[in-house]
Amino acid sequence: MPGCGWLLELCAGQEGELSPRESLAATRARTIRVLSGLKALYPDAHCELDFRNPYELTAATILSAQCTDVRVNLVTPELFRRWPDPYAMAQAQQEDVEAVIRSTGFFRNKAKNLIGMAQAVVANHNGEIPRTMEELRPIPGIGRKTANCVLGNAYGLSEGITVDTHVIRLSHLLRLSRESDPEKLEQSLMKLVSREDWAMVSHLLIWHGRRVCIANRPKCGECGIAGLCPSAGTV
């Protein structure tokens, strides 16, 4: 299995223990060096979903589940032209929304979540996307990942780390965490990264995962942080 050599080491050792074991302090120090390297490689790293306000980012992030940002960005101009704010989306017909977002996949459930999100925002938050995790999480279609994305990118609030498949995969390859559950992995990364970098760390890992450390075909020979990666040359 490409990229899983260290996981096999883990399975061969005691449950929950990496072999060889690295102290939290050592992992934190290496994480700082990894982030420094990624910041140098990607000084312009940012959320690659197109949005102009918190509502648009919330909707785009809902659409991004199991879909590329490129595809979402092709769909959202028409979506926001027809339903430019939560008040308009709350009145939308599901079949109309489905027709616009069909190419993003899972379009029925996504349309339901978009309309449910808008209705909840209108009914409970005066049409404004909330600014706290506690208020965001009960809204349809908004899990912790979406909430972190909105808080960090629309409001500049560092409440957590957005964890997607790239973040999980690179965290494993770099041995920053052995957790596979997104929320547990997020908590482990939050112990390694300074709060001011919580929003940025996901962008850096995602940009590197899309451009160099590509799933199933990583460009280890072109990787600027290969010297800090225990998996370099083995994937």
Catalytic residues: 145, 164
Query: What is the residue type of 78?
Result: E
Say how far apart CA 15 and CA 96 lie, in whole Å. 50
Angle between helices 198-211 and 24-41 (to 10 degrees): 60
Secondary structure class of 57 (helix, strand, coil): helix
The kind and range of the H/E element at 225 are none
Please name the residue that has the structure tokens 């112990």. 191
Please name the residue that has the structure tokens 């225990």. 230
Please name the residue that has the structure tokens 């929950």. 16
| Geometric angle at alpha carbon 186, from 225 and 41, rounded to 5° | 25
Say how far apart CA 155 and CA 54 lie, in whole Å. 8
Secondary structure class of 104 (helix, strand, coil): helix
